């Protein structure tokens, strides 16, 4: 596999929607909107976080599923567009930082995340972020996760939040969407061995279910 073969983000996102449908979820195909909803200064992101009562993004470290699921409706309300929690792979150059397979994603929909998914790892082999119907990406947790694991190298980025369009969200990284939607995440969480999602701020800030990768 080579990162050059990943293809375009919007095409991959449409494939992710079709895959999620085959897992039993009723998703409408996306109708892409032109332009950018996120201003260069990220003021709308600040507003969305404020409406969610969040003033410390650093607590998202290792909590990508929880934070993307929790934040999606607040970003939708603030920006006036559809926002989907998105699960998939992240590549750095030709190396997969997170590398779930299609079989993994289907298994999680059927039986949740179990002990076998943590074997030989510090945490889960997946990543989650937000996709807007413009194709823009919001990345709420990756910088804080890096900072928590590698404080000397990335400590200055703790509490940072990224946004943009693949492949320009994070230098030398590519986002590959595979499964889409809050309903998918809710079913996975309901069938898993540990709580993965939050219904309030206390649960959001509780680092009970830590989902991190072992190498960056």
**Averaged pLDDT for residues 39-66:** 95
pLDDT tens-digit series, residues 58-85: 999 999 999 999 999 999 999 999 999 9
**Residue 160: CB atoms within 10 Å:** 18
Distance of CA 43 to the CA centre of its chain: 21
Whether 181 shows a pLDDT value over 90: the answer reads yes
pLDDT in tens, 126-162: 999 999 999 999 999 999 999 999 999 989 999 999 9
Q: How many CB atoms lie within 10 A of CB 195?
A: 14
Predicted local confidence at residue 122, as pLDDT: 67
pLDDT at residue 2, rounded to an integer? 86
Residue range 39-44: mean pLDDT, rounded: 92
pTM: 0.94
As a whole-number percent, the residues of the chain with pLDDT over 90 amount to 84
pLDDT at 125: 92
Which pair of structure tokens corresponds to residue 74?
Answer: 């607040």
Q: Identify which of 92, 184, 93 has the alpha carbon closest to the alpha carbon of residue 131.
A: 184
Question: What does the pLDDT read at residue 123?
Answer: 74
pLDDT in the model for residue 120: 74
Give the pLDDT score at 213.
Answer: 39
Whole-number pLDDT of residue 211: 41
pLDDT tens-place string over residues 87-131: 999 999 999 999 999 999 999 999 999 988 888 766 789 999 999
What value does the mean pLDDT of the chain take?
92
- Please report the pLDDT score of residue 121 as a whole number: 67
C-beta of residue 216 within 8 angstroms of C-beta of residue 150: yes
């Amino acid at each position: 596999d080579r990162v050059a073969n990943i293809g375009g983000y919007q095409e991959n996102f449409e494939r992710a929607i079709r895959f999620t449908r085959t897992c039993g979820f009723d998703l409408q195909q996306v109708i892409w909107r032109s332009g950018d909803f996120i201003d260069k200064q990220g003021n709308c992101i600040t507003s969305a976080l404020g409406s969610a009562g969040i003033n410390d993004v650093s607590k998202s470290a290792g909590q990508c599923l929880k934070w993307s699921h929790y934040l999606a409706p607040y970003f939708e309300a603030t920006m006036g567009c559809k926002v989907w929690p998105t699960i998939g792979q992240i590549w750095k150059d030709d190396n997969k930082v997170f590398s779930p397979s299609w079989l993994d994603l289907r298994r999680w929909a059927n039986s949740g995340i179990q002990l076998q998914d943590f074997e030989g790892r510090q945490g889960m082999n997946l990543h989650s972020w937000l996709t807007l119907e413009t194709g823009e990406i919001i990345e709420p947790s990756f910088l804080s996760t890096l900072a928590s694991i590698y404080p000397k190298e990335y400590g200055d980025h703790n509490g940072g939040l990224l946004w943009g369009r693949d492949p320009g969200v994070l230098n030398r990284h590519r986002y590959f969407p595979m499964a889409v939607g809050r309903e998918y995440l809710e079913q996975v969480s309901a069938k898993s061995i540990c709580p993965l999602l939050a219904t309030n701020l206390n649960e959001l800030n509780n680092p009970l279910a830590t989902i991190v990768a072992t190498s960056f």
